[in-house]
Structure 1
C-alpha cells in the first residue's frame, strides 16, 4: 500500500467549500466542523445561506431536463460506480463518520455498507418499467408514465448522516431528478461532502447534485424556492412540522420521516437472555440517537424482574467514551443541549416514581447506559422521544394492555414483539399502529429494499426505500395519442 497516495477525502479539494455544481466558496462563509467527543476541529466547510440555496436550485433546474433524458443504463452505471467508490474507500470514510457524528467503528461501517446498498438499489430503479397502457373510450392510445418531479431538495439529520442522506439523494437522481441537499451543519462531511465526492468521481454531470451545508435559513429556502418541486426531510417531529408547513404554503410535495417512541413488547414466554440482548441493542445503539431506537420496553409482569436484572447487567458493562479509542460501546451525545434534555427526562421519571437502576449520569457529553423501571404514562420518559441511551421499562398484565400502552403514543414509527409463540406475536403486532413491525426482533431495522416511514408524529404517511422510492420521487403523467387531430362541435 502506498502510504503517500492522496486520500479520497483530501481536504485540499473541498476544505472551506460547498458543492454548487462544483467546489466553490459559499456566499454565507464557512463553519468549523468539530468532533463531539473532544471538541477538536476536523475541517471547515462552506456555510450556505439563502442566496447559495437559490443559486444551487437554479442550476439544478437548468440541468434537470438533460439529466432526465439521459439513458437509464447510463444513470445506473454512474450510481453503481459511486457505490463502488464508497466501498473501496470505506475504511477512510468511516473514520470521518466516527469523528463527526460520535459513532463507534461498527456503526460507522454499517453506514458505509448500507450507504452502498442504497445506491445500488437506486441504480436498479433506473432500469424499472416506467409506465403502462390504459384502456380508452375511443380510438386514441392512452398510457400513463412515471416522470421525475424536477428538482428535489433533501434535508438530512446528524445521527446517521451518510445513510439518511444518500437514501433520498440516490433514488431521486436515479429517477431523473436533480438534487439540492442540505446536510445537518454538525455533520456536513459524512452527510454531504462524502456523497458529493463519490458522485463527482463516478462521473455525475455537473448540476445534477448540489451540497449546501447550512442552518435553518437554508432549510427554509429549500422549502420555498420555486425551482424546487419536492422536499425529502428526515429529522425531528418539530422540524418536520415546520418543513411541512412551508412546503404546504408553496404547494410542494413533501416526504417526512420523523422521530419515534418505539415500543418493544416482550411476552411472558420469551427467552429472557435473548430478549434482554434485543432490548439493550435497541435502546443503547449509537447512544440511543436513532429514530427507530427502542424508546419503551413493555414486558409482561411475570418476567419483569428477570428481564430487568439482565438489562441492568448489560448497561453496566457498556463503557461510554471517545470512539477513537476503539474501547467503548457508546460514544458522545451530539451536543450539550441534548445531554441536558436527556438528564431532564431521567430526573423527571425519578421524581415521579420510576426507579433508576443503572446510569443516569454523564461526564460531559458521555452519557452512561441508563435503565429506568416503573416508567408510567405521565412521565416524560414514557411520552417523549429521548434520543439518549435510556432503557425505559413498563410492565403489563395482559397482551391487550400491552397493545393499549404501545398505542398511547402520538408517534407511530416502529415496534417489535418477542415471543416463543409466533402466532401470538403476530396477532399482537397486527394491532400496533406503526409504519414498520418486527416480529421477534427489536425496533432498529432498516435497509434499501423495504418502504421505511411512519404514521402520526413519525411522518406524513410517505415512505423511502424499496418500491416506495418510485412512488415518492416520480409522479404520474397521462399521455393520449390520436393518429391525427379531429374537429369538435365548437
Structure 2
C-alpha cells in the first residue's frame, strides 16, 4: 500500500507543523474508504499567526522584481510537470478522480501557472492628463496585501491554483483553507511546490480546520482584504454576508445548472459525444458540468438513442484503472444527496432510459428522459452522474427553458449554423457558453465566471489581475498652483 504519511503537517506562518486543535482529521480514499493520513487540525490562533506572517512577508514580496516573481512561477510550472505522476496519484486517491480527470487537472494547473507568470509585468503605472495646470496624474496598480482562499473538493488542485497563482503573481500573500475532504491536493501540495520553487517562507499558509474550531475567523480577521471562494451558492451567500459586514471584497465562483441545447439542425452524433463528456467527467461533480440537456423534439429520439448507447458503454469502478471514466462520489453524504434528487425526479414523472445502481460511493450513470424544467431535479445542481434530457418544441422554447434557472455559469449550443447558434448563445444569461462543444471548458487567458446565483467576479488573464489588485491615484504638482484663497502672507 502507498504511503501518504508525509502530508501529516501543515505550513502555518512559515513552518510545517501540527495544528493547535485537539481534533484530528482522517483523510480517506473515497473509493476504498481507507485512511490515507491523519492531520491535526488548526485553531483560530493558527489562523491569526498565518495572517500575521503572510502580511509581514508580503511587504517584501510586493517589492520583489517582476523578473524574480516570474522565475519562481515558471519554476513552479516545471515542478508541476516533473511531479505529474505524484499529483495524479494524489488526485485519484484523495479526490476519487479518474486518471483521465487527474491528468486534465494537472495540465490545466500548469497552464494557469504559466499564464500567471506574465502577471508581474501587468502591474503597470498609467499616466493621465490633468485639468490643473502643471499637474500629472499617475494611477498605479498594487497588490491588495493578503488573500483568503477557500477551495472545494471536486477539482481541488486546479481550483486552488486558479486563485493562488494569480494572487502570488500580483504580489500578494495567501492563506488557503482547503476542503476537509481534500486538504492535500487542495492546499498542502500547492504550498510544497511553491516552497520548492523558491517562494519565501510564510507567504503561503494552509489552514486545515473545522468550523467548530475557527468559526468565521478565516474571513473576519483584519489582515485579508479579499476572500476568494469556490463552492456552493448556499455557502457563498454566507461568506459574502460575513465579508460584507467586514468590508472585504469577495470573488465567488458558485453553483451551476448548465444547459446543453441541441437544435433541430445539429450534428446529433457530435452532440451526443460532447454531452457524454460534459455530463460524466468526474462523475458530474463539476460546477460547469451539463445539468440539463435540452433537445428539439425533431431530433429528440435520435439524440436519446445515441446518448444512452454511449453512456451505457462507460467504464465504471476503480479510478486507478486507466480505462475508468466513472469513479466514486466524494463521500456518502454526496451519494445520499444525489440519490434523493434521483428518487424525487422519478416520483415527479421523469422516465428512466438508463438505470444505474449505487454501490458504496460509486453511482453508475442514470439517464432520465421526458424531464420537465419545473421538476426539482431540473432546478437543482445535481453534482452526480444523472443525465436529464428535456424535450422542447423549438428554438424559442429552448432559450426560455435554458434561462429558467437561478444559475448562469456555463452552457452550450449545437447547430450546423454558426449564425443561428451564436444568436441563441447571446440570448442565454450565463457567464460562459460554447458553440458545438460541451460546457466544461476553462482556459487561463479568458474570463471564467458566472451570472445570477453562479457568482461574482472573473478568473483568468487580465480579469485575474483585476481581482487581486487595487489602484492608487498619485498626482504630482510640478508647477506652483494658484489657489482661490490662502495666498496672502
- Establish whether residue 161 from structure 1 lines up as the match of residue 171 from structure 2: no
- Establish whether residue 122 from structure 1 lines up as the match of residue 116 from structure 2: yes
Secondary structure at the residue paired with 2:378?
helix
Q: Are residues 200 and 485 of structure 1, via their aligned partners in 2, closer, same or farther at CA, if it must alter by over 3 Å?
A: farther
Deviates more, 1:278-287 or 1:479-488: 479-488
Tell me which residue corresponds to 1:87: 81
Q: 1:51 aligns with which of 42, 45, 49?
A: 45
Secondary structure at the residue paired with 2:441?
coil
Secondary structure at the residue paired with 1:382?
coil
- Deviations along 1:104-128, whole A, 9 cap, x unmatched? 0011011111111111111111122
Tell me which residue corresponds to 1:197: 192
- Establish whether residue 180 from structure 1 lines up as the match of residue 180 from structure 2: no
Structure 1 unmatched runs, 5+: 1-6
Contact 1:18 1:46 in 2 (8 A): no
Q: Are residues 253 and 223 of structure 1, via their aligned partners in 2, closer, same or farther at CA, if it must alter by over 3 Å?
A: same
Secondary structure at the residue paired with 1:384?
coil
Distance in structure 1 (CA, Å) of the matches to 2:221 and 2:142: 21
Q: Are residues 10 and 284 of structure 1, via their aligned partners in 2, closer, same or farther at CA, if it must alter by over 3 Å?
A: closer
* TM-aligned CA deviation for residue 52 of structure 1: 1.3
Q: 2:464 aligns with which of 449, 452, 469?
A: 469
* TM-aligned CA deviation for residue 360 of structure 1: 4.1
Tell me which residue corresponds to 2:294: 298
Tell me which residue corresponds to 1:20: 13
Q: How many residues align?
A: 481
- Deviations along 1:260-283, whole A, 9 cap, x unmatched? 000000011112111111111111
Contact 1:264 1:417 in 2 (8 A): yes
Q: 1:483 aligns with which of 455, 478, 485?
A: 478
Q: Are residues 219 and 285 of structure 1, via their aligned partners in 2, closer, same or farther at CA, if it must alter by over 3 Å?
A: farther
Please give the TM-score of this superposition, normalised by the length of structure 2: 0.95
* TM-aligned CA deviation for residue 219 of structure 1: 7.1
Q: Are residues 293 and 219 of structure 1, via their aligned partners in 2, closer, same or farther at CA, if it must alter by over 3 Å?
A: farther
Contact 2:9 2:39 in 1 (8 A): yes
Secondary structure at the residue paired with 1:377?
coil
Secondary structure at the residue paired with 1:291?
coil
Deviates more, 1:265-274 or 1:158-167: 265-274
Distance in structure 1 (CA, Å) of the matches to 2:356 and 2:44: 41
Tell me which residue corresponds to 2:273: 277
Tell me which residue corresponds to 1:364: 360
Q: RMSD over aligned Cα, in angstroms? A: 1.7
Distance in structure 1 (CA, Å) of the matches to 2:40 and 2:159: 21
Tell me which residue corresponds to 1:406: 402
Contact 1:19 1:196 in 2 (8 A): no
Distance in structure 1 (CA, Å) of the matches to 2:172 and 2:43: 23
Secondary structure at the residue paired with 2:427?
coil
- Deviations along 1:289-327, whole A, 9 cap, x unmatched? 000000000000011111111111122112322212334
Contact 2:12 2:46 in 1 (8 A): no
Distance in structure 1 (CA, Å) of the matches to 2:321 and 2:276: 22
Tell me which residue corresponds to 2:430: 434
- Deviations along 1:98-149, whole A, 9 cap, x unmatched? 1011000011011111111111111111122512111202212111111111
* TM-aligned CA deviation for residue 422 of structure 1: 0.8
Distance in structure 2 (CA, Å) of the matches to 1:103 and 1:397: 38
Tell me which residue corresponds to 1:3: none
Please give the TM-score of this superposition, normalised by the length of structure 1: 0.95
